[in-house]
Amino acid sequence: MLLTVKDLSVRFNTEDGPVLAVDEASFEVARGEVLALVGESGCGKSVTAMALTKLLPRNATITGTVHFGDRSLLPLSESGLRDVRGREIAYVFQEPMTSLNPVLTVGRQIGEVLHRHQKLRGAAVQRRATELLELVGIPLPQRRLGEYPHQLSGGMRQRVMIAMAVACRPALLVADEPTTALDVTVQAGILDVLRDLREQTGTAVLLITHDLGVVADSADRVVVMYAGRTIEQADTEALFDRHSHPYTRGLLGAVPNPARHAEGGLREIPGRVPTLRESPAACTFAERCGYADDVCRQERPLLLPGPANHPVACFHPLPVPSTVETSR
């Protein structure tokens, strides 16, 4: 297994008291696999990803274990983590316009990665940077090296971010909402780039998204997060066809579907994700769930195999659809 995360928790100490952003999250990523972390905004997806290499502010307290291959990452010193970041675990952040430096050219920013981790200089940097832009499908790559981020379209900036992330052929690429704010055509192009990179380099991808269309098109497996907890894990096909958690059903029901417009349009999940100060001994989805009872409000459900034979943290998991049972 390439990445193993066990009981990962992240607590931020704020002026208003501690805030629990991630609550004993656990999952694994195999070599060459695309694993999607899905959930509403505020469920802890991005914080989980940043915690893997401790890319969090000083007021964050991280507990649990993160094993990358045979190494435990959390005990590493800052210098040790800098050797891992970019070289072995690379990030594509949510918004390239704020992640790229506006006063440095594209070539300068890619060159910094190549110099820091591969010790390349001069013409070697230019050649490798050009190759990377070609790899992610940017036309006229040599010309783009001399341009600034504001001179590029949103899709091109995202491709530059991907080029920087894969410059050192990392074993794991963390792609945090890589298609947000892009039109459908550009989204498809970015997903094609990630798919091609995986095939060419064998890089595993941790894909963070709330777009279930992207998940269906790209991921091998899915981890559903809610209020910082992992509440369901399954192969992508199984999650769509045989999901077990009521929250997962709510996410799928909120996906735009023309066939449902006659039934009243989009379905929504009532309420909102809670802000937690401590880990409650209860199901955090209970106040929004139509199946909740006293047990849900008094005990924490464990992540255990459910009716569909994949892990789910729910006292009342949904039954397997009869059409699926018949086909087995």
Domains and CATH numbers, the chain: 3-88+168-277 (3.40.50.300), 105-164 (no CATH)
Spatial CA neighbour of 179 closest among 201, 154, 205, 151: 154
- Tens-place pLDDT, residues 121-136: 999 999 999 999 998 8
Backbone angles phi, psi at 50, to 5 degrees: -65, -30
Beta-strand runs (E) in 172-211:
172-176, 204-209
Is the per-residue pLDDT at 33 higher than 60? yes
- Tens-place pLDDT, residues 196-234: 888 888 899 999 998 898 899 899 999 999 999 999 999
- The per-residue pLDDT for 231 is 97
Is the per-residue pLDDT at 264 higher than 80? no
Instruction: State pTM to two decimals.
Output: 0.90
Q: What is the mean pLDDT of the chain?
A: 90
Q: What is the mean pLDDT of residues 263-277?
A: 80
N-terminal to C-terminal alpha carbon distance within the chain: 29
Beta-strand runs (E) in 69-119:
71-72, 89-92
What is the band of 99 on the pLDDT scale with cuts at 50, 70, 90? confident
The number of residues making up the chain comes to 328
Is the per-residue pLDDT at 328 higher than 50? no
CB 221 within 8 A of CB 35: yes
- The per-residue pLDDT for 322 is 65
| Three-class DSSP category at 315 | coil
Rg of the Cα atoms in the chain: 21
Is the per-residue pLDDT at 154 higher than 90? no
| Three-class DSSP category at 160 | helix
- DSSP of 232-296, one letter per residue? EEEEHHHHHHH---HHHHHHHHTS--GGGGGGTS----SS-PPPBSS--SS-TTGGG-TT--HHH
Q: What is the mean pLDDT of residues 68-83?
A: 95
Q: Which residue has the higher pLDDT, 34 or 270?
A: 34
Spatial CA neighbour of 60 closest among 44, 47, 71, 76: 47
Is the per-residue pLDDT at 326 higher than 50? no
